[in-house]
Structure 1
Amino acid sequence: MAIMFVRAQVISRGAGRSIVSAAAYRHRARMMDEQAGTSFSYRGGASELVHEELALPDQIPAWLRSAIDGRSVGAASEALWNAVDAFEKRADAQLARELIIALPEELTRAENISLVREFVRDNLTSKGMVADWVYHDKDGNPHIHLMTTLRPLTEEGFGRKKVAVTGEDGAPLRVVTPDRPKGRIVYKLWAGDKETMKAWKIAWAETANRHLALAGHEVRLDGRSYAEQGLDGIAQRHLGPEKAALSRRGATMYFAPADLARRQEMADRLLAEPELLLKQLGNERSTFDERDIAKALHRTVDDPLDFANIRARLMASDDLIMLKPQQVDAETGKAAEPAVFTTRDILRIEYDMARSAQVLSERRGFAVSAVSLAAAIENVETADPEKSFRLDPEQVDAVRHVTGDNGIAAVVGLAGAGKSTLLAAARVAWESSGSRVMGAALAGKAAEGLEDSSGIRSRTLASWELIWANGHETLHRGDVVVVDEAGMVSSQQMARVLKLVEQAGAKVVLVGDAMQLQPIQAGAAFRAITERIGFAELAGVRRQREDWAREASRLFARGEIEKGLDAYAQHGHLIEAATRDEIIGRIVGDWTEARRQAIQDSS
């Protein structure tokens, strides 16, 4: 089962560690420490190495490019860490930070590689950081080791570990004190601090949850600590690959006395307060059955008697709510479908969310004038004369819907239906009326896409919540918050956002497709809200030009994948191959030919 495990450590020369040796061990390779003149070889564990990458930012200095161009990943890693080792002169120098992250067992190796690449791109290389990562899998314990430098890359080598904090104007931030009337410049660690680690944990959980949802899995991770979730005292102990493998095979587990005492302490805590386990389940999913309860309990409790006692108390708890009783087959008398449960907290959260949505739908005072609306639509229609693009009547109606008088509005549409384009027109209308517009999405990539396509300044929802909690850029009356890909937002997070919007007297616009992906974490908030308040629908698909391709997109969105692929096959757009290598070769060949043709056409 997927677990939330992200551990950070600093590789330091002061602790007697060699950064080149650390890299060689992780890459399961042979590397030479040029400073010490020592060779390290860990090729014996090569069978555990699934994948390795050296991910670099877009802009890298010439010295590093010349050092790694044309070399294997292991050789490039060796060159990088030897350069770091040579640059650091202190005997106790900190050389690198390493993240050890458990990968979801539910995902295939290819899916896990895609997951790590997205996390690295959005959180590290996009910030100018180097990420040297390897994927290990020993006895069914998939995880990555990710090493990153503690200094930024420069043309001369590496920069300072501490950099000045800058304000919105780009100038260094200063703190004025009585002894320093001109102010003291505030510095921060370039590679991040404890708060950065917290943000990375949350980002990892969000990225992993999105990939789990894409793969059709219901399990979810939570980047917050158990204490932050209100579950302090039931944390799991990381077993390691050997014990984890034995546990999966059902073997009898033996723990050291300290571990036994700790596990018994957790069992005693659950015996006294079994609702903690329900809260943990509620953080992972909005509904569950008895098997899910047993699995969650088994992760913490080993003793059969304690297991039975806690399970019995859980099933009798007032916090456990049965949504659907067990379905029994009339002919065989056996259970056909298990009973479905939820928690009282989840019901309360979804009630509060629905209440906030109702209050916002009845709130007035957000209408955009007809003149501003017409100008905004015309502005989008004539923004790029070369494309001769115009909003169609369906999109115009959706723009009018979201810029209406209510405090909440929703737009439902398939991917490629033109949601981003109508938001660009809506943004112009809102801003011409003096409203401040903020964009939000669950994932960083989606927030970037929203900003690029609509011009709305956007962040992740988690980022906005943190900023607002710290008293910065707080919501005010008349503000408009646009939430893209709202179908992926959990009920808990949606309830928090709607409550903040309600209290501030602002407006929220939810945009997405409730059928596109399962929501992240627990609850289908977007679907529940749209059923209550109504929505504008974009039924047409505009990303494809031909009618058959548009219909195929609708089939894909409804989950009728086979019919959609048949449509592509009938029009000669589905290519089959006997082997994976053959199809990859065809893809690369087609891309190369298309690129060559594009260069010829532009010359």
Structure 2
Amino acid sequence: MAIMFVRAQVISRGAGRNIVSAAAYRHRTRMMDEQAGTSFSYRGGASELVHEELALPDQTPYWLRSAVEGRSVAGASEALWNAVEAFEKLANARLARELIIALPEELTRAENIALVREFVRDNFTSEGMVADWVYHDKDGNPHTHLLTTVRPLAEEGFGPKHAPVLGENGEPLRFVTPRRPTGRIVYKSWGGDKETLQAWKIAWAETANRHLALAGHEIRLDGRSYAEQGLDGIAQRHLGPEKAALARKGRELYFAPADLARRQEMADRLLADPALLLKQLGNERSTFDERDIAKALHRYVDDPADFANIRARLMASDDLIMLKPQQIDAETGKASEPAVFTTRDILRIEYDMARSAQVLSEGRAFAVPDRVGAAAIRNVETGDPEKPFKLDAEQVDAVRHVTGDSGIAAVVGLAGAGKSTLLAAARVAWEHDGRRVIGAALAGKAAEGLEDSSGIRSRTLASWELAWANGHETLHRGDVLVIDEAGMVSSQQMARVLKIAEEAGTKVVLVGDAMQLQPIQAGAAFRAIAERIGFAELAGVRRQREDWAREASRLFARGETEKGLDAYAQQGHLIEAATRDEIIGRIVSDWTDARRALVRESAEGANTTRLRGDELLVLAHTNQDVKRLNEALRSVMTDEGALGESRSFRTERGAREFAAGDRIIFLENARFLEPRAPRLGPQYVKNGMLGTVVSTGDKRGDTLLSVRLDNGRDVVI
């Protein structure tokens, strides 16, 4: 089961460590320390290496980009850490910081890779840090090693290890003493300190929880220390890959005397107070069964007698609440469904959450005048003179609902229902009424999306909670806090946030997908609040224009996939074939006919706009099929003279041929500087952006990829 384990260590020469050797071990490869002329080889464990990446920040200087250019991931890692070894001169120099993080067993390998990528992007590369990370998995013990430099990158090598702490005015903070009346500048470690590590732990828990929820798992991680969770004395020691593998196979484990003493001490502590384990289970998930209890207990207790004794005391504990008894099959007499439990603490938390929601709902100080709301709606509808539109009655009602008098409001709606549009109008109304509006979401990507689509300044919930705890940007009476993807927020976190809002006199607006109200989803807090206070629902779908297509989207959103596909089949839009080859041939043929028709219409003036790249889109499930289809479609365009001369470029998925006229999709968020296109300054692309290749070379004929995005912006790579 998923465990919260994040351990940090510093790799330093003073401890006899070599960073090139450490990197070679983690990448399970051979590396050369160029300073010492020593080779390190760790290829024996290559089967444990699932994935490896070297993530660079946007502002990576040219010396490092050129050093890693054209190398494998392990080769790029070797170049980076040799540069560090060459730069550091002291015999006791700190060379790198490492995080070792346990990955959730519930997630697939692809899901864990996506999880680590998001964590690295939001917490390291976005802060200018290099992240050299690997994913190991041996006998069901998935974990990642993340190495990062302790100095910032500079134009020539690396910068200082300590940076001044800046105040709110942007000037360095100073500590005034009698000897220094002008003050001594306060510095902090650039590579992170204890406070940074705690922030990373919380960020890891929040990111992992979002990915677990998206994958349909109810378990949650808690980034707080055991002391902060009220679990003093139950700290879990990491077994390591060998012992973890033996434990999973049910084999007998052998511990050193000191470890045996610690484990026996843990068993004694749980015998004295079994509620400690229930508290930990409650921090991880809202409900659980006897199997979950047994798994949690096995983390700490090996002796069968102690295990049975503690388990019996747990099942008889007053802190354990049965929500649903075991279900027995009438025909077989066997258990068909296990009994479901929760803890008394979870019940109290959810009661407190419901009470805060009720108090907020009874508040009557947030009504926006009707004329202000109407003006805000007009402002959004006419914001782009070239593309004016009208909010429909359902959206207008939702704007009125969230800008009403109550101190809390909820909006639910399907994807594409227009939630972002109504929030943009609500923001204009609130701000015109003199209120500060801030946004929050569980994940950084969701917070960024909320800000981009509605104009509401947004951060992650964890970031806001940390800022409030340190006395920064605290909530005030009359403020409005908008929480997007509210169905992903745990009951514990929701209870904390609502309590803070209640005490500050701040209005809370919860926004989520309609499916997050269903009991099968990890959205119990949102569901409980929406059912208690009521909600505005956007049942309509606005991305599709025809009635049958809108109804199909509703069916898909409700999980009735077969009925949704039937609707497309009845309209002649679902075509099946006996073999893969046959259907690929049909796709290529239909795409070719459709493209020729669009080109003809454009040439004849029937289509007044240029031939847009997004008018034709082919999707496939596997990378192999994507590659095969792309090659077939490109051959059609080449035969018809629609493509220029091809050049080879290195991509995430290997070498690819690109030519002027080709279509490109970007598959991840990235910010970068292109040394050969300095006039563009910092460039960025986002996952899913589409563009058309304008050229594949510069004026001198050297390879350079110029892409015009569908939004009209150019990027050069």
Residues of 2 paired with 1:172 and 1:230: CA distance? 37
Residues of 2 paired with 1:278 and 1:99: CA distance? 28
2:382 is the alignment partner of 1:386: no
Aligned to 1:47: 47
* Aligned pair partner of 1:582 in 624, 632, 637: 624
Residues of 1 paired with 2:555 and 2:160: CA distance? 54
Aligned to 1:443: 443
Aligned to 1:172: 172
Residues of 2 paired with 1:520 and 1:479: CA distance? 33
Contact 2:516 2:522 in 1 (8 A): no
2:167 is the alignment partner of 1:125: no
Deviation at 1:542, TM superposition (A): 2.8
User: What's the secondary structure of 1:471's corresponding residue?
Assistant: coil
User: What's the secondary structure of 1:541's corresponding residue?
Assistant: coil
Residues of 2 paired with 1:566 and 1:351: CA distance? 43
Contact 1:213 1:519 in 2 (8 A): no
Q: 1:171 to 1:520 in 2, by over 3 A?
A: farther
Aligned to 1:322: 322
Aligned to 1:186: 186
Aligned to 1:38: 38
Contact 2:515 2:558 in 1 (8 A): yes
2:522 is the alignment partner of 1:453: no
Aligned to 1:202: 202
What letter corresponds to residue 101 of structure 2 in structure 1?
I
User: What's the secondary structure of 2:511's corresponding residue?
Assistant: strand
Aligned to 1:344: 344
2:418 is the alignment partner of 1:418: yes
Aligned residues: 603
Contact 1:321 1:343 in 2 (8 A): yes
Residues of 2 paired with 1:35 and 1:227: CA distance? 44
Q: 1:126 to 1:330 in 2, by over 3 A?
A: same
Deviation at 1:133, TM superposition (A): 0.9
Q: 1:556 to 1:196 in 2, by over 3 A?
A: farther
Residues of 2 paired with 1:519 and 1:62: CA distance? 52
What letter corresponds to residue 286 of structure 1 in structure 2?
S
Aligned to 1:252: 252
What letter corresponds to residue 114 of structure 1 in structure 2?
A
Q: Could you tell me the TM-score, scaled by structure 2's length?
A: 0.79
Deviation at 1:332, TM superposition (A): 3.0
Deviation at 1:485, TM superposition (A): 0.8
Radius of gyration: which is bigger? Answer: 2
Deviation at 1:518, TM superposition (A): 8.7
| Ranges in structure 1 where 5+ consecutive residues have no aligned partner | none
Residues of 2 paired with 1:285 and 1:523: CA distance? 12
Aligned to 1:480: 480
Aligned to 2:639: none
Residues of 2 paired with 1:58 and 1:123: CA distance? 13
Q: Which has the higher contact order (CA 8 A, sep 6+)?
A: 1
Deviation at 1:564, TM superposition (A): 4.3
What letter corresponds to residue 515 of structure 1 in structure 2?
M
Comparing 50-59 with 167-176, which one deviates more in the overlay? 167-176
Aligned to 1:594: 663
Aligned to 1:358: 358
User: What's the secondary structure of 2:96's corresponding residue?
Assistant: strand
Contact 1:284 1:522 in 2 (8 A): no
Q: 1:388 to 1:523 in 2, by over 3 A?
A: closer
User: Could you report, residue by residue, the CA deviation over 1:135-194 in whole angstroms, capped at 9, with x for unpaired residues?
Assistant: 112222221111111111122221111112223443333344444444433222222111
2:112 is the alignment partner of 1:112: yes
Alignment of 1:52-67 (within 5 A): 52-67=52-67
Percent identity among equivalent residues?
83
Comparing 271-280 with 462-471, which one deviates more in the overlay? 462-471
Aligned to 2:85: 85
Comparing 585-594 with 170-179, which one deviates more in the overlay? 585-594
Q: Could you tell me the TM-score, scaled by structure 1's length?
A: 0.94
Comparing 319-328 with 72-81, which one deviates more in the overlay? 319-328
Deviation at 1:390, TM superposition (A): 3.0
User: What's the secondary structure of 1:207's corresponding residue?
Assistant: helix
2:281 is the alignment partner of 1:212: no
User: What's the secondary structure of 2:515's corresponding residue?
Assistant: coil
Q: 1:353 to 1:78 in 2, by over 3 A?
A: same
Aligned to 2:21: 21
Q: CA RMSD in A?
A: 2.6
Deviation at 1:472, TM superposition (A): 2.2
Contact 2:217 2:522 in 1 (8 A): no
Residues of 1 paired with 2:319 and 2:66: CA distance? 62
Q: 1:583 to 1:369 in 2, by over 3 A?
A: same
Contact 2:517 2:524 in 1 (8 A): no
Residues of 2 paired with 1:442 and 1:573: CA distance? 39
User: What's the secondary structure of 1:435's corresponding residue?
Assistant: coil
User: Could you report, residue by residue, the CA deviation over 1:400-459 in whole angstroms, capped at 9, with x for unpaired residues?
Assistant: 110001111111111222212211111111111111112111112211221222121212
Contact 1:488 1:517 in 2 (8 A): no
Deviation at 1:556, TM superposition (A): 3.1
Contact 2:491 2:525 in 1 (8 A): yes
User: What's the secondary structure of 2:406's corresponding residue?
Assistant: coil
User: Could you report, residue by residue, the CA deviation over 1:292-324 in whole angstroms, capped at 9, with x for unpaired residues?
Assistant: 222222222222222222222222211111222
